[in-house]
Structure 1
């Protein structure tokens, strides 16, 4: 999906023009159909994502079986062909068994190939710019991914249910998907489980129905979302609902297995609202229509900025809340990383650098620790430390969660602030996520934007901070 509204307008215009050209093809002319690419072209994850189409929307209806720990599910996909397609791929990983697959309502041929490819051949080719639907019914116990360097993702069983977390991969273990940040879409979740369990997902809560001992909840993410940011969880939770001071619906939940007191649950709820409203004064209007967070016992060992409702694992410290700087970090991602998303994984420093910088902003506002002090303490890391070794703007597949992405990324943000001055920096950190709302971007685009805002050439600054290994000089 395009990173700017102007690009989107151009795409619509081109699509309209293409439609006219197709209709003008002489009678009897043969249309050539070719397969979509089985990858999206990201060198870090060449098997992830696919080419030949753009997804607009996912409907995920999932029923959880607490006895077998598995699911029955139907995923519906609305998409548009970006070429004349003879066949196309979705990412679908693990042992889930497909019982039915239809394209535009008609049965389609399919096969599983490679590690995660679901290759689909519709009964007839799909013309460029035509809209089409895919409906896949499947069941089984989804796979948990345990990557040696990138950790746990996908479907994570818990003591009373399950959690789905998907960064950098994992979505394809639970639903068929074009698993690339470059193809965002809106979502609806229909989650069914025994009425004794709570089901939660991204987005706005839009109702529930209880029948025959089962409850189905409906959640809607109305703004474009990358698949790596999708989330759902099933289990026993204490849930609080309210609004932030600026009127944004706020839903938070704490896993009962953690033994978090009602008072701490309320504190987490209130702090989520408070910190979000503070960050909005720095980064501009909150980009989604609801917010919140979920404290879980999942043994994944991290917090994750799942869109509009972040996940915080506290299995290592039951009865306690995530730190307020962690909450600030994950909420900052809603602007930097979620609404505005790097097109390729090599540019993740712009997610994590700004989120880490938000921690420093929080400490300055609420604990009287100047941002400059946080910078100085981090910069004092010895020059031979591993922090300085990877390239921040291209750390490599196994280093996308390396400290250079977080800490050196935040130092880069501060170095930019010192270079361009307070007025231009304040403008930049609001206008950048607004400019890219719902879309994707690259590091080079960010640099050009910073240069446009400041009127300065910034090649040297970014060369030494993100494109060069080693500790930069001040």
Structure 2
């Protein structure tokens, strides 16, 4: 992502009281004497404590979406098949969903009771499937839902979720907007593979993550099936619907490159998008193998969103990007998409490294050196408003310290190591060891000290966690 602009009774008879007593105690006995407890409603993220859910890990989402013919305001009908593994014996569990009406829910083929409170759906499966909800077992949940998807306004005033554009729609999810168009475990720590099928009026394109498996038109409706094989955090999922011109090519190494461009942005974005293979090849030399099975971009119209976003496989740009922005969002495929933050407190790892990638690209292509970019960032008072590791609140996650000061932390590590070859080996090792996983700030600082053999306590205390601008020695 690039910094955002400031612009987000049921009455019960006496016959049910014994059941309530059991639930209130937090456990229920199922077939075979299995005793389960409810999964947590939220993962206690430092900035979004109710985001995500405990007690299970999603392994796959199969989303079947149908968009009506009402243009940008069209209604959405969806079926989500969620395959998950229980991480405890479950009596109930939660899903995150904002706004849309839930029409039915089954767990392992049997209807489940559903209670809704805001964006929290609490599902209580039939006792007949209790054995399928033992710790370590895999179970399948099917949610049928629909309505008019909402736009979510973030704490910083920016908009995400289901955005109506001038000629269609685009779904953007960071940090919590994906719950506006499908139910799930919407926290970056729970990554999964995806199959996304989108049916739209004939003549429209529907673009998503991963690779296009099929495209079929019947009775004036076209269904696009996109498959994401590698793990993906839900905030990185996207659907863009509109009159996009979709083009598929390959890099010199055979990596598929899929671009989808709004006709009004085609001319102004062509030259920059043509550099995607070059940027990917450059990134592989700096950071190691590209982590996904395809690359590309989605380019909408100016005003479609207030920011670009590193949606997996193909970042979204609200209008033609410049080369620096393209480099930043493609760098996120390594930093943020493959190695994803364990919590939103760790977002500086994404943005600091993606900003540093911009500095490296500039130096390698005749622009300001990394030293000069560091100096410019150091002199910018905005970068010292707070430590990048501790933004004051959710509204601050996309403010300059997370980006510019985050990149300065990366460069200070490079300076302390005093060996460029060793530094880039460390970066490539970090990405390899955490590929398609999650990592925290503590994971990173421990990794750096272990691999470098250095005690960097002072660096972390001053540059990463410190409250004021340190002197340059």
TM score, norm. by length of structure 2: 0.89
Residue pair 1:240, 1:269 contacting (<8 A) in 2 also: no
Q: Secondary structure at the match of 2:450?
A: helix
Residue pair 2:272, 2:322 contacting (<8 A) in 1 also: no
Deviation at 1:269, TM superposition (A): 3.0
Structure 1 position 219 matched with structure 2 position 215: no
Hey, what does 1:229 align to over in structure 2?
236
Q: Distance in 1 between matches of 2:357 and 2:252?
A: 20
Number of residue equivalences: 433
Q: Secondary structure at the match of 2:359?
A: helix
Deviation at 1:29, TM superposition (A): 7.8
Hey, what does 2:266 align to over in structure 1?
260
Structure 1 position 45 matched with structure 2 position 48: yes
Q: Distance in 2 between matches of 1:172 and 1:259?
A: 29
Q: Secondary structure at the match of 2:36?
A: coil
Structure 1 position 287 matched with structure 2 position 291: yes
Q: Distance in 1 between matches of 2:379 and 2:329?
A: 25
Hey, what does 1:434 align to over in structure 2?
432
Q: Secondary structure at the match of 1:404?
A: helix
Q: Bigger shift: 405-414 or 153-162?
A: 153-162
Hey, what does 1:351 align to over in structure 2?
350
Q: Distance in 1 between matches of 2:463 and 2:433?
A: 24
Q: Distance in 2 between matches of 1:41 and 1:301?
A: 28
Residue pair 1:104, 1:132 contacting (<8 A) in 2 also: yes
Q: 1:187 aligns with which of 181, 194, 201?
A: 194
Q: Distance in 2 between matches of 1:388 and 1:49?
A: 31
Residue pair 2:265, 2:300 contacting (<8 A) in 1 also: no
Residue pair 2:208, 2:240 contacting (<8 A) in 1 also: yes
Q: 2:394 aligns with which of 391, 397, 419?
A: 397
Hey, what does 1:406 align to over in structure 2?
403
Residue pair 2:156, 2:394 contacting (<8 A) in 1 also: no
Q: Distance in 1 between matches of 2:218 and 2:323?
A: 39
Structure 1: which 4+ aligned runs deviate by more than 6 Å?
A: none
Return closer, same or farther for 1:409/1:215 CA change in 2, 3 Å cut-off: same
Q: 1:387 aligns with which of 383, 387, 400?
A: 383
Q: Distance in 2 between matches of 1:169 and 1:31?
A: 34
Deviation at 1:299, TM superposition (A): 3.1
**Which structure 2 segments of 5+ residues have no match?**
1-30
Hey, what does 1:14 align to over in structure 2?
none
Structure 1 position 147 matched with structure 2 position 154: yes
Hey, what does 1:122 align to over in structure 2?
125
Deviation at 1:306, TM superposition (A): 0.5
Q: Residue deviations 1:344-384, cap 9 Å, x none?
A: 11111110000000111111112242111111121122xxx
Q: Distance in 2 between matches of 1:203 and 1:81?
A: 26
Hey, what does 2:27 align to over in structure 1?
none
Q: Secondary structure at the match of 2:38?
A: coil
Deviation at 1:398, TM superposition (A): 1.8
Deviation at 1:205, TM superposition (A): 1.2
After TM superposition, the structure 1 = structure 2 runs for residues 89-168 of structure 1, keeping only pairs within 5 Å, are: 89-94=94-99, 96-113=100-117, 115-124=118-127, 125=130, 126-149=133-156, 151-168=158-175
Residue pair 1:47, 1:116 contacting (<8 A) in 2 also: no
TM score, norm. by length of structure 1: 0.89
Q: Secondary structure at the match of 1:412?
A: helix
Hey, what does 2:441 align to over in structure 1?
443
**Which structure 1 segments of 5+ residues have no match?**
1-27, 315-320
Residue pair 1:253, 1:265 contacting (<8 A) in 2 also: no
